[in-house]
């Protein structure tokens, strides 16, 4: 007798709706709960309904391409783990996920990967694009050919993609400005450190932070933004050079990667706990820095969700003829401190 969602729910101690969300990618579920449900589904040999098996049969010729940049960073490795889970789920539903990971920021490499995906028969694409004219032109060309595109982690303003999955980077930047002002009530000097120019997410978080500070918190004095290209070595050098000129630096805001380098520099200068550090991504290393006081506030932006949801949305669009219900699928802005890890 076929195992039902209700039986899996009973074994997992959750609602049937929660099991449905996990097995069909329809909403937020805590990672540990999701892992338990998937494990039980495998142990109990759950199979889709007859309708689901029919969809599997119809999906067999469907290929979904995913091109992910910046995968040398710990956060993007977590995003890729979400993509891999989507690949396994799509395989069970009869579709194939093609994945290409690009270590750094490489627009030309991404364009070549898009072309290769299309040659291999991808009928839909999920991308982490750079915000460049050539990538925007390529995405428009692909969409004009009838291939739907979803962006994730970083958006592409001006492109007619189906939707974006990821952090609301403008709200996140404003949130971090408020956190910095609350931490430095008497004002102070703040260094913004970003990753790459042209990375839409980094740029939006940076500009929103700067604009909010200038408009709302005049007691905070901003130094010119520095770019570390997601390198801990470079971010460490940036902070050390800044401390030579400004030894009483009050705050550092990191809109991209390079968090560990910032913490190393401040620790070496005896500024841990004296210079407020606000950054992004609940990676293992960042959680350690949060616990030891190197980071004061950390924005967790839902890495696995960003990797998992785009492919499922494309599957629904291509197989079920169900377009995304929203233009923006924003992940939560979760503020982490050493006290709520």
Residue with tokens 């839902």: 302
247 inside domain: yes
CA dist., res. 210 & res. 91, Å (int): 44
Report field, pTM of the whole predicted structure over 0.85:
no
Residue 50: which pLDDT band, with cuts at 50, 70 and 90? very low
CATH code of the domain in which 259 resides: 3.40.50.2300
Q: Say which CATH number the domain at 38 has.
A: 1.10.260.40
Does residue 135 lie within any of the structural domains?
no
Confidence at residue 30, expressed as pLDDT on a 0 to 100 scale = 75
Measured CA to CA, the distance from residue 178 to residue 12 in angstroms comes to: 40
Is 149 a domain residue?
A: no
* 64-73: average pLDDT: 92
Is 268 part of any domain?
yes
Kindly state the DSSP code that residue 275 receives in the 8-state scheme: B
Average pLDDT estimate for 51-74: 75
Tens of pLDDT along 161-205? 999 999 999 999 999 999 999 999 999 999 999 998 888 899 999
* Whether the predicted pLDDT of 332 surpasses 70: yes
Taking the C-alpha atoms of residue 117 and residue 98, their distance in angstroms, rounded to an integer, is: 7
CB 37 within 8 A of CB 22: yes
Largest CA distance in the chain: 73
| Under 8 Å between Cβ of 271 and 248 | no
Domain annotation covers residue 216: yes
Q: 227 is in which domain, residue-wise?
A: 169-300
In a domain, 256, yes or no: yes
Q: How confident is the model at residue 51 (pLDDT cuts 50, 70, 90)?
A: very low
Counting the structural domains of the chain, the total is 2
Q: Does the residue 72 lie in any domain?
A: no
Instruction: Return the beta strands (E) in 40-123 as ranges.
Output: 63-68, 96-101
Whether 35 maps to a domain, the answer reads yes
d(CA 60, CA 70): 30
pLDDT digits (tens, 9 = 90+) for 217-264: 999 999 999 999 999 999 999 999 999 999 999 999 999 999 999 999
């Amino acid at each position: 007798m076929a195992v039902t969602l209700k039986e899996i729910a009973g074994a997992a101690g959750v609602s049937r709706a929660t099991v449905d969300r996990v097995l069909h990618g329809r909403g937020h579920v805590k990672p540990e709960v999701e892992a338990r449900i998937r494990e039980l589904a495998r142990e109990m040999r759950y199979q889709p309904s007859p309708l689901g098996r029919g969809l599997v049969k119809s999906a067999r010729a469907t290929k979904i391409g995913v091109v992910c940049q910046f995968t040398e960073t710990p956060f993007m490795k977590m995003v890729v783990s979400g993509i891999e889970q989507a690949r396994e789920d799509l395989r069970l539903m009869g579709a194939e996920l093609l994945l290409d990971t690009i270590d750094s920021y490489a627009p030309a490499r991404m364009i070549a990967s898009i072309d290769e995906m299309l040659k291999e028969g991808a009928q839909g694409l999920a991308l982490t694009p750079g915000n460049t004219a050539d990538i925007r032109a390529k995405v428009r060309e692909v969409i004009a050919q009838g291939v739907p595109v979803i962006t994730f982690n970083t958006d592409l303003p001006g492109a007619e993609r189906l939707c974006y999955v990821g952090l609301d980077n403008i709200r996140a930047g404003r949130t971090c400005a408020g956190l910095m002002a609350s931490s430095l009530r008497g004002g102070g000097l703040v260094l913004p450190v970003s990753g790459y120019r042209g990375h839409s997410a980094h740029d939006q978080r940076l500009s929103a932070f700067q604009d909010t500070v200038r408009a709302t918190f005049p007691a905070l004095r901003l130094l010119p933004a520095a770019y570390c290209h997601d390198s801990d070595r470079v971010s460490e050098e940036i902070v050390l050079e800044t401390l030579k000129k400004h030894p009483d630096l009050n705050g550092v805001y990191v809109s991209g990667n390079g968090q560990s380098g910032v913490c190393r520099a401040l620790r070496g200068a005896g500024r841990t706990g004296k210079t407020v550090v606000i950054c992004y991504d609940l990676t293992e290393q960042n959680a350690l820095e949060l616990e030891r006081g190197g980071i004061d506030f950390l924005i967790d932006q839902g890495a696995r969700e960003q990797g998992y949801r785009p492919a499922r949305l494309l599957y629904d669009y291509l197989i079920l003829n169900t377009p995304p219900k929203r233009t923006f699928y924003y992940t939560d802005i979760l503020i982490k401190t050493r006290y709520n890890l």
